[in-house]
Amino acid sequence: MSVDRKLLEEDILRLYREPIVGANYTNSYGEENLVNLVTKYRSLSPEEMEIMQEWVIGYSQSPDLASSFVSVGVLHALGLSDRVEEAYVWAKSQDNSVQITSHFDIGVSLADHFIND
């Protein structure tokens, strides 16, 4: 069975955008997005997991702060510590590195708190 990459990518993007980070009390810091993304990842075939990893890794180094810190949380929850470290290295090279790394710390904490292995 072939993966419909476009449909998968659209679904992943939807999980980043819905619900909006900070739009309600239960998603103040993107905790619902994080849980939904990890749940999605765990439901995928190995081929689909690779595609999703590419997207999450890319977003972990995005100038969009909400996408990047949720991505770092997802990577942390999936045990991809080398990719988390790469995101922190990238963040430290940015003009607003303190803000980015503090948000990454939030993403990691959310993963520790909301993701049950």
Q: Helices (DSSP H) in the chain: which residue ranges?
A: 5-17, 31-42, 46-59, 65-77, 81-92, 97-114
pLDDT reported for residue 91: 97
pLDDT reported for residue 26: 86
pLDDT reported for residue 108: 97
Q: How would residue 39 be classed by pLDDT, with cut points 50, 70 and 90?
A: very high
Do the Cβ atoms of 71 and 89 come closer than 8 Å? no
CA 116 from centroid of its chain's CA atoms: 16
Do the Cβ atoms of 70 and 57 come closer than 8 Å? no
Q: Give the pTM.
A: 0.94
Q: What is the mean pLDDT of residues 37-47?
A: 97
- 78 contact partners, CB below 8 Å, separation of at least 6: 38, 41, 53
Of the two residues 25 and 104, the one the predictor is more confident about is: 104
For 47-106, write each residue's pLDDT tens digit: 999 999 999 999 999 999 999 999 999 999 999 999 999 999 999 999 999 999 999 999
